[in-house]
Structure 1
Amino acid sequence: MPVWIKTVIREPMAVHLGHTLSRTYSLHADTEEVTDEVRETFTHHNRIYQRCSVDRRIYLVPIDEDETIRLRIQYDVLAMVFDGRSIFPPMGALRRVLDCGFGTGMWAFQVAWENPRCEARIESFLASVASVQVSSPGPQGRARKPLQPARFNHKKIGLVIGIDVSPHHYNPEESVDNLYLNVDNLNMPLSFPSNHFDLVNSRLVAGGIDRNRWIEYIRDILRCLRRGGWCQMVEIDYNAQSDNGTLTDGHALRQWSDKYSRAMSQLKNVEAPRRLAHWMRQAGFTDVEERMIPLPMCGWSDSQRDFDIGVHNQENVRLLLGSLALYPFTELLNMTITEFHVLVAQARAEATNPALKKAEALRSAGASLAALPEGNLAAVERQGIRRVKADAG
């Protein structure tokens, strides 16, 4: 399997056992079932990684159970930050939604569950999918078992499609009929038709997008959106901050941030969370607005809301400090595993230190929304999301 023919998540990592959409998409769009190359893993200092993703320097984070747990905790934390809202703009009925970087699949599942119906029948979507071209040609993967003829479901549904380089965090038991997940590399051009999606969600993909890919990636998103469609983006800036100025360059948290930035900047753009609004305007989006949110590391806060978020985020931060940095620090910066464990242990201790007050390691931003009535602006400000209207016309 050469770089990067698209693959379909099917048994034993099935989106839905006997899922009509995944089978039909595979038949019509020359995609393959998940191959051994995609499944292949290796162990690095007792953490499990996806071989093809690391070898190609796409995503350098473990794909083991510990990381799956962390991602689920992180999803819950962001749900609190966004007041339980999966979709930021005030949209009507959704026909087609694209989730870039589905991870555990929880966001895609939630949106698919909340938006089961649309205006077009399923056959019309399958007809449009038939014209999609794969990112790069290649031989067929190893046959697992013959595909059965598709049996069409004539009920009206809203379709949610997710893309991720790894299927390892997804639980196939969490599926609905209108959810379809695809293994693909976001560094390749998106192969969906133009003017196709009502909403594109791009969330926490900065660790996988190559340094020079961002402008074209955002242009791809814009092209895939229908006229009047929307894009929402959320990224995290892993630059440790303190609201009382007590976090200095001598602290392990700051050293962790500096080392992470130095390691990842060799491959990725660590300034991506701060530049999304600029890149969106440059790509052709209109009505772009930016909101930055400090994300507390622990429960030390004068605000009850920040306190609650910090309490939930504490375990995410504890796990994040190890999982995000292990491979970059030991392989790209040549740290010894002992040096790594010492730094992470110190950083974890500081993250829960009340003397640092509300140490903020994360800044998130989303893209969505046209101008709102004045009465709704306060809610948008509180949600702290980056707002963008995508005019793909």
Structure 2
Amino acid sequence: MADISEDKLSEKNVEDVGSRYFLPRNVEEAERMQNQHEWLKGGADGLVLAPIDLNRSKMRVLDAATADGYWMQDAKSIFPKDTEFVGFDNAPEGYPPLNSSPPLQIVKQNLVEEFPAAWKNSFDFVHQRFVIPLFKTEEVPLVLRNLIGCMKPGGWIQLVEMDFQTPVSKPIESCPAVQAVHKLTSTVVSDPLASTKLAGRLTDEGLVKVGYKAIEMVAGSSHPDPELGERGKRNMLSVLGFFQSVAKPEMIGMTEEEWKSLPQRFAEEMKNHHVALRVYFVWGQKAAAQ
């Protein structure tokens, strides 16, 4: 893999990082992400799939792109009580604070800028989800190296990302709105298949015991758990709305009328068919010091 250091990113690249996060930062978005969190946790049957020992004492956990810190608040229930959690986001002030005791530790930090020196080799577990596809291919190694640099020798990282392109809904020929949504999201993100490349990237970066699990997240009436199916439906329609706000119908060959009716048609397909998307949980361990 090519060596891409931070100084090879132009100042404009760094300034543009904020613009790639097209989703809003407000109470409504925090609520959407919390709903998405519960849907994902239910579909994956847990928050941490990496084979880390969750019984060790005095661990440190870093949550990248944490938003309001909801993942950290929930993850506290599965880690030992003496675990220290640190979260960062490039604009944490945009989200309403969660009620937690003690308050969540969330700092302002950008994924492509230099990380605090105190974080180097400092965390037993690093977690990040739903960010990598927004970065350009040439930026991803820097993002991963920043995160890997925070891991202690023997520590673990877990990355969670959607496959925006591969259709897993059934029967796909009966889901033209689903196909249109795939086309739309693939057009807006930088790399719609970034999730499928993460295991290879972690291996290239020298991590060991790299593994992954691909999970089909069902949205709508075909979910065996009606509550989770409804959560998925709400999340998918909300995300579609945001994608439509930054795109135009001609980008995917739609008329204005087709564009306006897309949410309604998408909802109907989630009601009548098996609509799902694939999410990858990818993990790896930093080799222990010799």
Pick the TM interval, shorter chain. 0.7 to 0.9
Distance 1:87 1:99, change over 3 A: farther
Which residue is equivalent to 1:257?
Answer: 182
Aligned residue for 1:226?
152
Is the contact between residue 239 and residue 254 of structure 1 (CA under 8 Å) also seen in structure 2? no
Greater Cα shift, 175-184 or 290-299:
175-184
Distance in 1, Cα, partners of 2:249 & 2:232: 26
Spell out, residue by residue over 1:71-97, the C-alpha distance to the aligned partner (whole angstroms, 9 max, x if none). 111011112123244564333224311
SS across alignment from 2:282: coil
Q: Which residue of 2 aligns with 1:165?
A: 90
Corresponding residue for residue 23 of structure 2: 61
The alpha-carbon deviation at position 162 of structure 1 amounts to 0.8
Query: Identity over the aligned pairs, expressed in percent?
Result: 22
Tell whether 2:15 aligns with 1:99.
no
Structure 2: which 5+ residue stretches go unaligned?
1-13
Cα distance in 1 between the residues matched to 2:168 and 2:42: 21
Q: Of residues 114, 131, 143 in structure 2, which corresponds to 1:205? A: 131
2:279 maps to 1:279: no
Which residue in 2 is equivalent to 1:78? Answer: 40
Q: Aligned equivalents of 1:173 and 1:347: distance in 2?
A: 32
SS at match of 2:61: strand
Distance 1:250 1:113 in 2: 39
**Are the aligned partners of 2:44 and 2:215 in contact in 1 as well (CA < 8 Å)?**
no
Question: How does the TM-score come out when normalised to structure 1?
Answer: 0.61
Q: Please name the residue that 2:5 is paired with.
A: none
**Is the partner of 2:101 in helix, strand or coil?**
coil
* Separation in 2, partners of 1:173, 1:196: 25
CA distance in 2, matches of 1:62, 1:199: 28
Q: Whole-Å Cα distance in 2 between the matches of residues 249 and 262 of structure 1? A: 22
Equivalent residues of 2:215, 2:279 under 8 A apart: yes
Alpha-carbon contact 1:227-1:390 (below 8 Å) kept: yes
Aligned partner of 1:342 among 261, 274, 279: 261
Deviation at residue 65 of structure 1 after TM alignment: 3.2
Q: Deviations over 1:41-97 (max 9, x none)?
A: xxxxxxxxxxx9878533111223332221111011112123244564333224311
Question: In structure 1, how many angstroms separate the alpha carbons of the residues matched to 2:256 and 2:76?
Answer: 42
AA partner of residue 73 (structure 1): N
Structure 1 Cα separation of the partners of residues 148 and 157 of structure 2: 8
> Larger radius of gyration, structure 1 or 2?
1
Unpaired stretches in structure 1, ≥5 consecutive residues: 1-51, 119-157, 369-387
Q: Which amino acid aligns with 2:165?
A: N
Tell me how many residue pairs correspond in the alignment: 273
Task: Note closer, same or farther for the CA distance 1:328–1:183 as it changes in structure 2 (3 Å cut).
Answer: farther
What is residue 90 of structure 1 aligned with on the other side? 53
- Distance, in Å, in 2 between the alignment partners of 1:178 and 1:96 is 16
Distance 1:71 1:65 in 2: 10
Spell out the pairing of 1:39-188 with structure 2 (5 A cutoff).
56-86=18-48, 88=50, 89-91=52-54, 92-112=56-76, 115=79, 117-118=81-82, 158-167=83-92, 170-177=95-102, 179-188=104-113
Give the Cα separation in 2 of the matches to 1:71 and 1:110: 13
Alpha carbons of structure 1 residues 309 and 90: separation in structure 2 relative to 1, 3 Å? farther
> Larger deviation: 313-322 or 167-176?
167-176
Q: Is the 8 A contact 2:145 2:205 kept in 1?
A: yes
Contact 1:240 1:359 in 2 (8 A): no
Task: Give 1 or 2: higher helix fraction.
Answer: 2
Conserved in 1, the CA contact under 8 Å of 2:128 and 2:158? yes
Shift of residue 255 of structure 1?
A: 1.5
Q: 1:315 & 1:187 partners in 2: Cα distance?
A: 31
Equivalent residue in structure 2 for 1:390, among 263, 286, 290: 286
Q: Per-residue deviation at 1:181?
A: 0.4
Give the Å deviation of 1:349: 2.4
The answer (yes or no) to whether the contact 2:186–2:192 under 8 Å persists in 1 is yes
Q: Distance in 2 between matches of 1:173 and 1:269?
A: 32
Task: Indicate if the aligned counterparts of 2:115 and 2:146 stay in contact, CA closer than 8 A.
Answer: yes
* 1:334 Cα deviation from its structure 2 partner: 11
| Distance in 1 between residues matched to 2:230 and 2:47, nearest whole Å | 20
Q: Report the counterpart of residue 359 of structure 1 in structure 2.
A: 275
Are positions 1:294 and 2:213 aligned together? no
TM-score if structure 2 supplies the norm length? 0.80
2:233–2:267 CA contact under 8 A, matched in 1: no
Q: Do the aligned partners of 1:228 and 1:389 also contact (CA within 8 Å) in 2? A: yes
Contact residue 222 and residue 284 of structure 1 kept, 8 A = no
Q: 1:359 to 1:53 in 2, by over 3 A?
A: farther
Residue type of the partner of 1:225?
A: M
Partner of 1:313: 232
Q: Deviations over 1:295-326 (max 9, x none)?
A: 1111315xx35x65323312111212112342
